[in-house]
């Protein structure tokens, strides 16, 4: 039972996921329509009379839900992992860094794709925002107005927040409940500050969750990061993921040292001293600029010409040979003959 809890979404989410497509549309549409007619006006009037200090708190919370910082952070980390992965001299480091790139790219794509979908929908539907409630009510639409005042449904903040929460919950199911709780508070801040109606937030949450699960299904079919088994979709390479958690911080620090610290120190020294020492690791600016050319390997199909290093290591019928450290102690191989597994000893850093 514990293994099932660690690998699957909460039971109530799984039940919704396994409903038929028609039932999902009927359920979501009914909830949203009921909210537009009966819940939205009542909640708007109540939120309008909130204490100004309380509203100030929720205005701070709502800024956390902006997707810009998520996209910048994850996009930078994806390019960093790809560049460091192809630079790695040791095979286990290359596999670990490319796996980390897959994980972060999944988060980036979940937020980016659902955010674009929400933007297209809200401008096409053209629902009036709550600030026009006194003039137009809660059920006024101006399709294709492409005006911020008529771009209320669905909530973009709610969409990207729940897309991020769902992506993290799929990667770390054991902390799915606090992740969704935080997402709910951020989404609720949208109608508590008068930026959206409740139904806008609910529709955005549904879009974020559904879009991320659809992305997972696409990746399952390609067997990229996820795979579908008899009991459902599963994250691939979980033992490798545990090892990445110890390797990735070192990789990020190597990139910071090469791209940030080294140029700054070079400017400070000027022409007085020329650094002729060999590089200590990391990635050059030229390699970082060329990183997008290798990003296709992150989601390469197993039938394509590009070999998938994670696929080769996770396949049960893989050809015996030297194993990367994360697998040395898990396949019944001779752990003494291979390199020590970094997970076997607490605090033992991987050796390059």
| Cβ 40 vs Cβ 128: under 8 Å | no
pLDDT of res. 257: 67
Q: Using the Cα atoms of residue 42, residue 44, residue 49 and residue 54 in order, give the sign of their dihedral.
A: positive
Mean pLDDT, residues 270-288 taken together: 46
pLDDT of res. 180: 93
**Whether pLDDT at 294 is above 60:** no
**Whether pLDDT at 120 is above 90:** yes
Mean pLDDT, residues 292-320 taken together: 42
234 or 84: whose pLDDT is higher? 84
Backbone conformation region of residue 101, classed left if phi is above 0, alpha if psi is from -120 to 50, else beta: alpha
**Whether pLDDT at 332 is above 70:** no
Mean pLDDT, residues 158-171 taken together: 92
278 or 38: whose pLDDT is higher? 38
**Whether pLDDT at 206 is above 80:** yes
218 or 308: whose pLDDT is higher? 218
Q: Parallel, antiparallel, or unpaired: how do β-strands 226-229 and 232-235 relate?
A: antiparallel
Q: Which of 299, 252, 258, 290 is nearest to 99 (CA)?
A: 299
Report the mean per-residue pLDDT for the chain: 72
16 or 345: whose pLDDT is higher? 16
Q: Which of 217, 241, 236, 216 is nearest to 100 (CA)?
A: 241
157 or 19: whose pLDDT is higher? 157
> Residue 192 — φ and ψ, nearest 5°?
-75, -20
**Whether pLDDT at 15 is above 60:** yes
The 10s digit of each residue's pLDDT in 17-71 is: 677 778 878 887 888 888 888 888 888 888 888 888 888 888 888 888 888 888 9
Q: Which of 130, 73, 75 is nearest to 298 (CA)?
A: 75
| Cβ 198 vs Cβ 205: under 8 Å | no
The ranges assigned to domains in the chain are: 2-235
Q: How confident is the model at residue 138 (pLDDT cuts 50, 70, 90)?
A: confident
- pTM, two decimals, is 0.64
d(CA 161, CA 217): 20
The 10s digit of each residue's pLDDT in 187-199 is: 999 988 888 899 8
For residue 92 the two structure tokens come to: 């286990």
d(CA 139, CA 129): 10
Q: Which CATH number fits domain 2-235: 2.60.40, 3.30.70, 1.20.272, 1.20.144?
A: 1.20.144
| Cβ 184 vs Cβ 164: under 8 Å | no
d(CA 81, CA 225): 15
Q: Tokens 């696929």 map to which residue?
A: 311
**Whether pLDDT at 271 is above 70:** no
Portion of the chain with pLDDT greater than 70, in percent? 61
């Amino acid at each position: 039972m514990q293994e099932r809890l660690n690998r699957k979404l909460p039971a109530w989410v799984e039940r919704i996921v396994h409903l038929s497509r028609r039932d999902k549309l009927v359920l979501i549409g009914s909830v949203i329509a009921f909210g537009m007619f009966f819940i939205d006006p009542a909640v708007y009037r109540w939120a309008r009379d909130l204490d100004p200090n309380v509203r100030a708190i929720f205005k701070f919370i709502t800024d956390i839900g902006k997707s810009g910082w998520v996209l910048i952070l994850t996009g930078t980390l994806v390019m960093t992992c790809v560049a460091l992965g192809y630079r790695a001299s040791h095979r286990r480091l290359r596999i670990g860094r490319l796996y980390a790139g897959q994980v972060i790219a999944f988060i980036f794509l979940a937020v980016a794709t659902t955010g674009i979908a929400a933007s297209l929908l809200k401008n096409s539907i053209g629902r009036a925002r709550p600030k026009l409630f006194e003039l137009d009510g809660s059920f006024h639409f101006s399709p294709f107005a492409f005006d911020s005042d008529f771009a209320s449904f669905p909530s973009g903040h709610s969409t990207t927040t729940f897309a991020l929460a769902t992506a993290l919950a799929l990667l770390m199911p054991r902390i799915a409940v606090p992740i969704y709780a935080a997402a709910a508070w951020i989404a609720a801040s949208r109608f508590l500050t008068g930026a959206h109606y409740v139904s806008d937030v609910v529709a955005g949450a549904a879009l974020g969750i559904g879009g991320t699960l659809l992305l997972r299904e696409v990746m399952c079919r390609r067997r990229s990061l996820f795979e579908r088994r008899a009991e459902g979709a599963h994250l691939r390479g979980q033992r490798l993921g545990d090892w990445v958690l110890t390797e990735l911080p070192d990789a990020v620090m190597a990139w910071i040292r090469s791209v940030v610290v080294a140029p700054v120190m070079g400017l400070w020294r000027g022409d007085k001293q020329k650094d002729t020492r060999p590089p200590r690791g990391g990635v050059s600016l030229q390699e970082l600029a060329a990183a997008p050319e290798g990003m296709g390997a992150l989601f390469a199909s197993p039938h394509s010409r590009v070999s998938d290093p994670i696929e080769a290591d996770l396949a049960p019928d893989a050809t015996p040979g030297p194993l990367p450290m994360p697998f040395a102690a898990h396949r019944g191989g001779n752990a003494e003959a291979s390199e020590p597994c970094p997970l076997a000893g607490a605090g033992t850093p991987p050796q390059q």
